[in-house]
Amino acid sequence: MYKRFCVNCGKEAEELIDGLCRSCYIRFIGHKEEEINVKTCIICNSVIFKNKKYSLEDFYKKLEKKFNGIVV
């Protein structure tokens, strides 16, 4: 079995994201800060993002997909 190492810190990791361990990946995506404007409805608990309405659960799924399964 092959060993996988983070290209940034050299730590052995079972799962790599673009060649990085989770810690390094989170640190690097932190440098790509992006302001996100989200509105929420207190009555139905829905989220309005980019003029589209999502349930809270669907919005979390969208975030997870965007960040490759990592929600910080």
Tens-digit pLDDT profile for residues 8-60: 999 998 889 888 888 888 888 765 556 778 899 889 989 998 899 999 999 98
Q: How far is CA 66 from CA 30, 38, 51, 62, in A?
A: 14, 16, 18, 6
Residue 71, class by beta-carbon neighbours within 10 Å (0-12 exposed, 13-18 middle, 19+ buried)?
A: exposed
- Provide the 3-class DSSP secondary structure of residue 14: coil
**What is the pTM (predicted TM-score) of this model?**
0.45
Task: Give the per-residue pLDDT at 63.
Answer: 81
